[in-house]
Amino acid sequence: MSFLYEKSLSEIRSQLLAKELTVTEVVEACLKRIEETEPSIQALISVQAEEALEQARAMDEAGPDASKPLWGVPLTVKDLLCTKGTKTTCGSKILENFEPFYDAFAIAKLKEAGAVLLGKTNMDEFAMGSSTESSAYKATKNPWDLNKVPGGSSGGSAASVTASQVFGTLGTDTGGSIRQPASLCGCVGLKPTYGRVSRRGMVAYGSSLDQIGPMTRSVEDNARMLQVIAGHDEKDSTSVDVPVDNYLAALHREDLKGLKVGLPKEFWAEGLDAEVESACRTAVAKLEELGAELVEVELPHSSYAIATYYIIAMAEASSNLARFDGVRYGYRSDNAEDLLDIYVKSRSEGFGDEVQRRIMLGTYVLSSGYYDAYYKKAAQVRRLIREDYLKALEKCDVLVGPASPVTAWNVGEFTSDPLKMYLLDIYTISLNLAGLPGLSLPVGLGADSNMPVGLQLLGKEFDEATLYGVASLLEKNTEKLGAPAGL
């Protein structure tokens, strides 16, 4: 028996438009699923049940609107996207009572498309983390095994959609925060090209790295969501005015003949778990079977990616988070005696350990006497990393490799050693430095861990359509994972 909440976004949309289901029925089913699963996975910071039901009843009364591509579909969104009149906490105590007065561009697009927003998902505080354990509110668990992490920083989003609480969700990706949790939880996650989706209304971590993207249970559903949120925003200087492809039309490839798939040798080297490599190699063999030509390529500067990323990201975080000073909005300490005390105590009490660590490191690399040695050098190496990708993509259409070197690890395993957790982002970070699109697709379960493994497809600028085409065909020719074993 298939439960209503297990259906795909595309199936639900079709049934809603055909009046086979009402929006109220669908929303109630999702809210019941949240009630059943939330105590164990802790994926959501807030749930807007009454507002969603009120919206659903109004939509049912008005009748289906086929012009709205997400009409009546329940979704969740990461809690660093501004939602008018609903708290946006960024997983931090410092913003625990912050209610934005406007919707982020991506949120406005979802609402215009007819989506029903059920809640805001848990996340690493200010998107700083790889396990969703640094949230000030709760630690999210992996739906496949409640003793494992879901990845991060969009772990709440990945867990929410994987557990079938909703049919799709939005995450953000600064150094792999969509693709890595998608891999660890077994869902589809896309980081678009930098500038493809407006960042307006997203609370910034690393302004030159952050991108908003969809997370879903199928490639088709993912394409539907990106189709809605992609596009130029004249109010965002980082938004690029490039025509948006028809992503749904790209899903109908019958084979991969004529397609060149690059295998960066650095992604298949020492440090990759055997069970992850085995699942990914099987998927690559399937790509070749479908007609793709495999080409080995090199990304020679990728070994510097982690050092480069953490210098740039922490420097940008130090600058971006300076606005949270206890004066204009957000948490203010009750024990402050003067202005300097307000700054020091509000930030010390309001920010968690990981955020404070990154602010201090970022401030250090930007300080007088160290800027040239660290930040300037990192910016130069970033250019070399981007050029490596562009050269590799001159020889092929897409690059493929694992999204994570390991499957999901135990809760608490790396909390006392943040450096080890930083190193686990080795396969995702360089793409953000290059500003290119990447998609993580589940390709099986690890032979030893029985946890999901994700294959990462990397593409050319603004060529998300090719990624969707390849991923959709591979998905159709790969055995589905089934329902998460932990629920």
DSSP per-residue codes, 69-130: TTTT-EEEEETTB-BTTB---TT-GGGTT---SS--HHHHHHHHTT-EEEEEE--SGGG--S
Q: Is residue 79 within 8 Å of 96, Cβ to Cβ?
A: no
Instruction: Report d(CA 178, CA 163) in Å as an integer.
Output: 16
Q: Which residues contact 222 (CB under 8 A, 6 or more apart)?
A: 168, 188, 189, 190, 214, 215, 216, 439, 468
Q: Is residue 262 within 8 Å of 396, Cβ to Cβ?
A: yes
| CA distances, 479 to each of 211, 321, 377, 458 (Å) | 30, 44, 45, 22
Instruction: Report d(CA 331, CA 326) in Å as an integer.
Output: 6
Residue linked to tokens 């969700």: 169
DSSP H helical segments within 273-376, as ranges?
274-289, 305-320, 339-350, 353-366
Nearest to 462 by CA among 230, 264, 233: 230
φ, ψ dihedrals at 423, nearest 5°: -65, -20
| Tally of CB atoms within 10 A around 394 | 10
Nearest to 385 by CA among 307, 280, 467: 307
Which amino acid appears at position 386 of this protein? Answer: R
To which H or E segment does residue 438 belong?
strand 438-445
> Active-site positions?
78, 153, 177
Instruction: Report d(CA 307, CA 422) in Å as an integer.
Output: 10
- Residue 295's Cβ-count burial label (10 Å; 0-12, 13-18, 19+) is middle
Instruction: Name beta bridge partners: 75.
Output: 117
SS3 443: strand
Q: Is residue 455 within 8 Å of 403, Cβ to Cβ?
A: yes
